[in-house]
Structure 1
């Protein structure tokens, strides 16, 4: 897609970065997104121009902040909100313990968002998900989230938004709980993602409705009192793509947050997806930017168009680019790059960048990536519809069941594993498709050797898997492999696809390990 000084390209955060929340401090903009069962939790970004973003790290990067043991796929850390008040950054979020278990709300603080954030402050009697802070100009603070209406649900996924005063010093909720909004539209459901803003004497309550899939939407209401009553905007939903069809270029738009720029412009960040190869969203829910103007006391999203665009007019801010990250990670640093994640909180001393400097070493754990556990896995998001990934590893499987390689992952039930393993005494290079928990070997051949190059190329939903004993001498193991099983539309859940390096001893103790010298990833949209 072309790029000029007048326009920018969406998404501003490509790949699995859902539920964006944004705040401005001076001339700096900060944004966080959801992270679910991945660790570290809550990726944190910084920008000067709203278009170019640099990751500062993660908010929840210590086990004392985030214990994801036993957390099911697509549970864990839900929508986070970031706000700044009186010299302190606040990040508040929901920890969804299990499918039916508690929703526990907590917040952490930091003076420097790039530094260490505090350990969690857990809120009691704070039901629901998608907690948010609002700091009023009279010094009072409030917390809001959603909940089942006290009078009961009148229809499926019927929720309401509640608000309660927050004692900043006492770090607790105080006073009465107010019901702010019990559905702006009669056909709306899954009311969630609330944020409050104050402008020109009105309090504006922005929420997400319709569920985070195809019928997702953004609606708004306003009041002269923070506790209500709120009146619904007559043009709600102020943003949705559900009327555009399932194969429109951008779908399931919703869950938004507003920010006013230093130039006095208003902008909205929101989540949306880019389906390809049909209504399939391997990239998950991504972060987009869209302009907002105010008419008659109400926000109008992208006036004259009313939709999120892949290319849009730039904010009236000086362009501020950050140094481009190299496509290849040579694992020469003492720390993993911010793009890398673990599945759940890493337990055990299973990875190292120092045992063999210049290599990422993964020790074989009995745990398997096909279980809802913390496997020996280090992965990064798929961020493009078409991409190429390459790596080289040194590994010899010693015992039956020992395996290492590259995995394309949606969750522990849906993946493609490109692995070197030993089965009944034979060393094999194979491609395994795991779909709905059932495994099928798509291709295999006997292999012997210690050093192995991998290459995976995706042309939209068509994947090719190649290997080599010597650099550049590629042989094809499988091609035209269907990638749609890596979409949440097939696999379910809320996360996007990952590419990762992994190792396992398949249930048995092992002293074996694998060394990866480098990992390269590059992509394009079409």
Structure 2
């Protein structure tokens, strides 16, 4: 069986691509560097991270970009010769404008060195590239309308002003007139267009309803690529709106016909759990990636099991055992392990280096910075987990700190750091529980003095509850109260449309004095099901 999600943790906006008997899922990374995650599978059950292609300044530089900006909704495709990757680097979130330049890069192999990008336009986001039978390439993206009420073509949301289509080539760029081919339905927030062709029809799928609990995959078709497009008889192929099952927030995906002759559609999803004291619901793992089997009936796609809500377990095209999650303990740092990323900067040498026996973080800006902060972390992939590390750090002022952090964004994080308080080194719990827009820290516990030498730090998370622990040659001791982990989610702070990435756990160092004091982390362990 295919067990949803197939990519647990922060892996949204899945572009689904087949090349022969190989399958790829490309997902958004927002402000995390390097940009775009590409996973590979040959059975649709087991997936392995094989590339993060946007790995140099010429392809991506996100310094100064706000939370939940950066890489939105990539599209991975193959034209028979090369892979093509289309992506948006969103520079602004709040306000009337998005400032969303769209780019295309290409590579003969998915894990190779991708070309310098072609800048295409900035008219909207969520672009894709369609390779037609005649060799022509078509660029498709939603159009963003900054003008306000009454000015757009969609009756539900003026800012989402339809889907644009325009021919593109590497030699000439955009060619001819841009045509608005689809206004969307009354669900609104029409975005994430993907085109494919079958039996003489051009099919368009879009995401609608926003990326929260009203999300959906909408389908339309036309005989001519420029339209007119008629909407699916049920409007939405996939949506969990108004249902109470374990899989929610479903939408934004792409169709693939497999070499086995069966058909599947990717989608993003959330798995909400109750908040503190059973109140509300939140998705601590952010927006994840799932797959569902689809069938053709009367020229339209439908979920194979009926309805519009994807299943947790889906029949796979081949019989294979899924890989069980296992603890991951990193004790060697010859290179940065593949599960780790950092924030925004294309100059990682300024914030960390690998020295074999230690990951060395160079203290830079604060944990709330949008420019250059030494934070190296991995995704939370389980509803319950434990993570621990060993840090060596010698602060001599409270403006220097290093430690263990659970991090969603600059407004939503909890951190246990080693700093300088009351005349000596001490452990301090600092928390920013969704305080937008100020981003003020609170300190729910008194500082705990520690002696010289390495200090072990640990965090345990179980649903909405989180606690920090520490030790220095003895038993583990809890420091501070049980913290609210539910804030570290899309629903925390501003709410589900205020931010939409995912939760990470990792290592952090800062030095606001400008002396770039270093912290050595000798081990990092992540264990599911603590």
* Pair 1:259–1:9, CA change in 2 (3 A): same
What's the counterpart of residue 320 of structure 2?
319
Question: In the alignment, is residue 495 of structure 1 matched against residue 489 of structure 2?
Answer: no
Give the alignment of 1:112-123 within 5 angstroms.
112-123=109-120
How far the C-alpha of 1:346 sits from its partner, in A, is 4.5
Cα distance in structure 2, aligned partners of 1:433 and 1:215: 31
CA contact (8 A) 1:41 1:59 kept: yes
More displaced 10-residue stretch of structure 1: 297-306 or 206-215: 297-306
What's the counterpart of residue 374 of structure 2?
376
CA contact (8 A) 1:159 1:192 kept: no
CA contact (8 A) 1:146 1:160 kept: yes
Please list the CA deviations of residues 296-351 of structure 1 after superposition, one character each: whole Å capped at 9, or x if unmatched.
1100023334311222222x135387798761112332x21221111111446231
How far the C-alpha of 1:14 sits from its partner, in A, is 0.3
Q: In angstroms, what is the RMSD of aligned CA positions?
A: 2.0
What's the counterpart of residue 14 of structure 1?
8
What's the counterpart of residue 405 of structure 2?
407
More displaced 10-residue stretch of structure 1: 154-163 or 493-502: 154-163
Aligned residues: 506
Cα distance in structure 1, aligned partners of 2:76 and 2:321: 22
More displaced 10-residue stretch of structure 1: 127-136 or 157-166: 157-166
Question: In the alignment, is residue 341 of structure 1 matched against residue 341 of structure 2?
Answer: yes
Cα distance in structure 1, aligned partners of 2:414 and 2:106: 39
How far the C-alpha of 1:168 sits from its partner, in A, is 4.1
Cα distance in structure 2, aligned partners of 1:179 and 1:496: 33
CA contact (8 A) 1:302 1:308 kept: no
How far the C-alpha of 1:399 sits from its partner, in A, is 2.5
Give the alignment of 1:440-479 within 5 angstroms.
440-443=442-445, 444-470=447-473, 473-479=475-481
Question: In the alignment, is residue 261 of structure 1 matched against residue 258 of structure 2?
Answer: yes
* Pair 1:446–1:326, CA change in 2 (3 A): closer
Please list the CA deviations of residues 59-79 of structure 1 after superposition, one character each: whole Å capped at 9, or x if unmatched.
101122111111111011110
What's the counterpart of residue 515 of structure 2?
510
83, 88, 92: which is aligned to 1:89?
A: 83
Stretches of structure 1 that go unaligned for 5 or more consecutive residues are 1-6
Please list the CA deviations of residues 201-255 of structure 1 after superposition, one character each: whole Å capped at 9, or x if unmatched.
111100011111111111101111111111111111111111114xx41211100
CA contact (8 A) 2:327 2:527 kept: no
Give the alignment of 1:9-408 within 5 angstroms.
9-99=3-93, 100-124=97-121, 127-148=123-144, 152-153=151-152, 154-156=155-157, 157-170=159-172, 172-183=173-184, 185=185, 187-245=186-244, 248-277=245-274, 278-314=280-316, 316-317=317-318, 319=320, 327-333=328-334, 335-347=335-347, 349-354=350-355, 357-365=356-364, 367-408=365-406
TM-score, normalisation: structure 1: 0.92
How far the C-alpha of 1:148 sits from its partner, in A, is 4.2
CA contact (8 A) 2:2 2:291 kept: no
Stretches of structure 2 that go unaligned for 5 or more consecutive residues are 275-279
How far the C-alpha of 1:258 sits from its partner, in A, is 0.7
Cα distance in structure 1, aligned partners of 2:319 and 2:198: 25
Q: What secondary structure does 2:442 align onto?
A: strand
Q: What secondary structure does 1:490 align onto?
A: coil
How far the C-alpha of 1:53 sits from its partner, in A, is 0.7
CA contact (8 A) 1:400 1:424 kept: no
Q: What secondary structure does 1:484 align onto?
A: helix
Cα distance in structure 2, aligned partners of 1:108 and 1:424: 53
* Pair 1:288–1:130, CA change in 2 (3 A): same
* Pair 1:402–1:148, CA change in 2 (3 A): closer
How far the C-alpha of 1:482 sits from its partner, in A, is 1.3
Cα distance in structure 2, aligned partners of 1:238 and 1:320: 29
Q: What secondary structure does 2:491 align onto?
A: helix
Cα distance in structure 2, aligned partners of 1:484 and 1:454: 21
